[in-house]
Structure 1
Amino acid sequence: MLMLINRLGDDYVVWDKAAEIQFEKPDESDLSATFEVSDAEKRA
């Protein structure tokens, strides 16, 4: 949500309705994710 607010600017309203993560068991390893919003998606 924060990425889209930054990317789209003040002309748009971004709503974050829900998010949830359910873990099956605890782990001690690191986790990372990459999210990208292209210029084509910005104009859509």
Structure 2
Amino acid sequence: MSHKMEMVLSRGTTGLVENATKITCPMHKKIFSLVDGSNLNGEE
């Protein structure tokens, strides 16, 4: 996933949210599932 042609998720933090593996975007603090890519913030 890129943002403005930068691979920022490589600098994101990983962990667990409700037993789901997640990664956090360091630019926007959005949380995404590493299983299916869904937004775990509850936003579309």
Shorter-normalised TM range? under 0.3
Q: Which structure is higher in strand share?
A: 2
TM-score by length of 2: 0.19
Higher relative CO (Cα under 8 Å, sequence separation at least 6) belongs to 1
Q: Which has the larger radius of gyration?
A: 1
TM-score by length of 1: 0.19
Q: Which structure is higher in helix share?
A: 1
